Structure 1
Amino acid sequence: MEVLGLRSPAEGDWARLRAIQYSDLHRVSMVRAVGQGIAAILAVTLYASSVSAWLLGAWLAVLGFAIWQVGVIDAGLAEIDKGTMTRAQFRKQTFSVGVCALPWVFALFYFVPHGSTTEHYALWTVVAMLIAGSAAMLTPAPIATVVFCTVVGGAGTASFILTGDWTFAVASAAYVMTILAGTIRAARTYLSAKIAEAGVAEKDEVVSLLLREFEEKESDWLWQVDTNRRIRAASPRFAFAMGAEPHEIEGQSFVRLIAGDNLTAVETPRSLHELAERLKRRESFSNLLVQVEVGGETRWWELSGTPMRDDNGAYVGFRGVGSDVTEQRDRDEKIAYLARYDTLTGLPNRLMLTESLGEAMRFSEQWKTRCAFLMIDLDRFKQVNDSLGHQIGDRLLAKVSERLRSVITDNERCGRLGGDEFAVVIRDVADVERVRQIAHAIIETLSQPYVVDNHTLFIGASVGSAIGPRDGSSVETLMRNADLALYRAKDEGGGEHFGYLPSLHADAEERRKLELSLRNAIGNRELELNFQPVVNANSEDVVSFEALLRWNSSEHGFVSPAKFIPLAEDTRLIVPIGEWVLHEACVEATRWPEHIRVAVNVSGEQLLEPGFSGKIVKALAMSGLPAHRLEVEVTESVFLRDGRTANQTLNEIMALGCSVALDDFGTGYSSLGYLRNLRFSTIKVDRSFVQGAAADNPESLAIIRAVVAMAQSLEMSTTAEGVEDAEQAKLIRDLGCTKIQGYYFGRPMAAKEARSLLARRVRAA
Structure 2
Amino acid sequence: MTSQTTSQFAKPRIDVRALLGLYDPADTTDWGPIRAAQLNAGSQLAMFMLAANLVGAALITLNFAQLVPHWQLAGWSALVAAAGLMVAFRRLAARHRTERTATLKDVRDTMLDGVLLGTAWSIAPLLFGSQADAGAMLGLWAVLAVLIAASAGAMAALPFATIIFMTLVGGSAAALSALKLSPVLGAAWLLFTALLIIGCFSRGKALVVIRANEIAINERDETVSLLLREFEDKAADWLWEIDAQRRVSRANPRFAVSLGVDPMVINGMPFLQVLAGPAWDSGNFAPGLRDIAEKLKRREPFRDLLLPVIVDGDERWWEMTGSPRYSEDGSFCGFRGVMSDVTEARESQSKISRMARYDSLTGLPNRLLINETLAMAMSEAAKWNSRCAFMMIDLDRFKAVNDTLGHPVGDRLLMRVSERLRQLMSAKEMIGRLGGDEFAVVVRDATDSGAVERLAHTIIDVLSQPYEVDQHTLYIGASVGVAVGPRDGRTAEMLIRSADLALYRSKDAGGGVYHAYEPELHVQAEERRVLEMALRAALEKDEFHLMYQPVVQAGTGALMGFEALLRWTHPEFGNVSPAKFVPLAEEARLIAPIGEWVLRNACIEAARWDDPIRIAVNVSPEQLHNVEFAAFVASALRESGLHPDRLELEVTESVFMREGTAAVQTLEKILDLGVRLSLDDFGTGYSSLGYLSRTRFSSIKVDRSFVQGASKGNKEAIAIIRAVVALADSLGMATTAEGVETEDEHRMIQALGCSKVQGYYFGRPLPVVEARGLATRDSFGTTVAA
Same fold (TM over 0.5): yes
Residue 582 of structure 1 and its aligned partner are, at CA, apart by 0.6
The one of 197, 205, 212 aligned to 2:229: 212
Residue 331 of structure 1 and its aligned partner are, at CA, apart by 2.4
The one of 465, 488, 494 aligned to 2:505: 488
1:760 is matched with which residue? 777
CA distance in 2, matches of 1:689, 1:586: 30
2:591 is matched with which residue? 574
Residue 600 of structure 1 and its aligned partner are, at CA, apart by 0.9
Counterpart check, 1:458 vs 2:475: yes
The one of 467, 486, 492 aligned to 2:484: 467
For 1:37-436, list aligned pairs within 5 A.
211-216=228-233, 218=235, 220=237, 235=253, 239=257, 269-271=286-288, 274=291, 285-304=302-321, 321-436=338-453
Residue 751 of structure 1 and its aligned partner are, at CA, apart by 2.6
Which has the greater radius of gyration? 1
Distance 1:229 1:250, change over 3 A: closer
Deviations 1:84-116 (A, max 9, x none): 9xxxxxxxxxxxxxxxxxxxxxxxxxxxxxxxx
The one of 626, 629, 632 aligned to 2:646: 629
The secondary structure found in structure 1 opposite 2:548 is strand
| Stretch moving more, 477-486 or 264-273 | 264-273
CA distance in 2, matches of 1:687, 1:267: 77
The one of 451, 460, 473 aligned to 1:443: 460
1:507 is matched with which residue? 524
The one of 502, 527, 530 aligned to 2:544: 527
Is 1:485–1:504's contact at 8 Å kept on the other side of the alignment? yes
CA distance in 2, matches of 1:250, 1:753: 107
CA distance in 2, matches of 1:538, 1:458: 43
What letter is aligned with 1:212?
R
Distance 1:500 1:212, change over 3 A: same
The secondary structure found in structure 1 opposite 2:657 is helix
CA distance in 2, matches of 1:763, 1:475: 62
Deviations 1:612-640 (A, max 9, x none): 22321222122111222212211122232
Residue 585 of structure 1 and its aligned partner are, at CA, apart by 0.7
Distance 1:465 1:264, change over 3 A: farther
Residue 439 of structure 1 and its aligned partner are, at CA, apart by 3.5
CA distance in 2, matches of 1:214, 1:305: 20
Is 2:706–2:721's contact at 8 Å kept on the other side of the alignment? yes
2:697 is matched with which residue? 680
CA distance in 1, matches of 2:236, 2:255: 8
CA distance in 1, matches of 2:518, 2:703: 36
Distance 1:762 1:539, change over 3 A: closer
Is 1:349–1:416's contact at 8 Å kept on the other side of the alignment? yes
Counterpart check, 1:554 vs 2:583: no
Is 2:599–2:636's contact at 8 Å kept on the other side of the alignment? yes
Counterpart check, 1:594 vs 2:606: no
| Stretch moving more, 596-605 or 403-412 | 403-412
Distance 1:209 1:601, change over 3 A: closer
Counterpart check, 1:618 vs 2:606: no
CA distance in 2, matches of 1:534, 1:214: 90
Counterpart check, 1:749 vs 2:761: no
Distance 1:700 1:273, change over 3 A: same
CA distance in 1, matches of 2:361, 2:260: 38
Distance 1:285 1:725, change over 3 A: same
Is 2:256–2:262's contact at 8 Å kept on the other side of the alignment? no
2:156 is matched with which residue? none
Residue 687 of structure 1 and its aligned partner are, at CA, apart by 2.8
Residue 459 of structure 1 and its aligned partner are, at CA, apart by 3.4
Distance 1:728 1:213, change over 3 A: same
Gaps of 5+ in 2: 1-36, 42-98, 101-219, 782-786
Is 1:231–1:254's contact at 8 Å kept on the other side of the alignment? no
Distance 1:763 1:299, change over 3 A: closer
The one of 687, 702, 717 aligned to 1:670: 687
Distance 1:543 1:360, change over 3 A: same
CA distance in 2, matches of 1:587, 1:315: 99
Residue 736 of structure 1 and its aligned partner are, at CA, apart by 4.8
Distance 1:605 1:254, change over 3 A: farther
Residue 398 of structure 1 and its aligned partner are, at CA, apart by 3.3
Deviations 1:703-756 (A, max 9, x none): 445444544454444333334445544554555544333344443322333333
| Stretch moving more, 353-362 or 265-274 | 265-274
Distance 1:763 1:260, change over 3 A: closer
CA distance in 1, matches of 2:229, 2:326: 24
CA distance in 1, matches of 2:553, 2:275: 92
| Stretch moving more, 277-286 or 714-723 | 277-286
Deviations 1:135-154 (A, max 9, x none): xxxxxxxxxxxxxxxxxxxx
Percent identity, aligned pairs only, is 57
Residue 207 of structure 1 and its aligned partner are, at CA, apart by 8.4
The secondary structure found in structure 1 opposite 2:583 is helix
What letter is aligned with 1:634?
V
Distance 1:210 1:562, change over 3 A: closer
Is 2:625–2:661's contact at 8 Å kept on the other side of the alignment? no
What letter is aligned with 2:656?
F
Is 2:238–2:252's contact at 8 Å kept on the other side of the alignment? no
Is 2:558–2:779's contact at 8 Å kept on the other side of the alignment? no
What letter is aligned with 2:625?
L
What letter is aligned with 2:651?
V
Is 2:248–2:266's contact at 8 Å kept on the other side of the alignment? no
CA distance in 2, matches of 1:473, 1:344: 32
CA distance in 2, matches of 1:205, 1:521: 78
Is 1:223–1:235's contact at 8 Å kept on the other side of the alignment? no
CA-atom RMSD, angstroms? 4.4
Deviations 1:205-234 (A, max 9, x none): 998765322234545456788989689876
Is 1:464–1:487's contact at 8 Å kept on the other side of the alignment? yes
Deviations 1:565-622 (A, max 9, x none): 1111112222221111111110111122222221111112222345222321222122
CA distance in 2, matches of 1:635, 1:262: 74
The secondary structure found in structure 2 opposite 1:749 is coil
The one of 651, 654, 666 aligned to 1:649: 666
Is 2:316–2:341's contact at 8 Å kept on the other side of the alignment? yes
Is 2:624–2:663's contact at 8 Å kept on the other side of the alignment? yes
Distance 1:552 1:763, change over 3 A: closer
Is 1:302–1:325's contact at 8 Å kept on the other side of the alignment? yes
Distance 1:315 1:654, change over 3 A: same
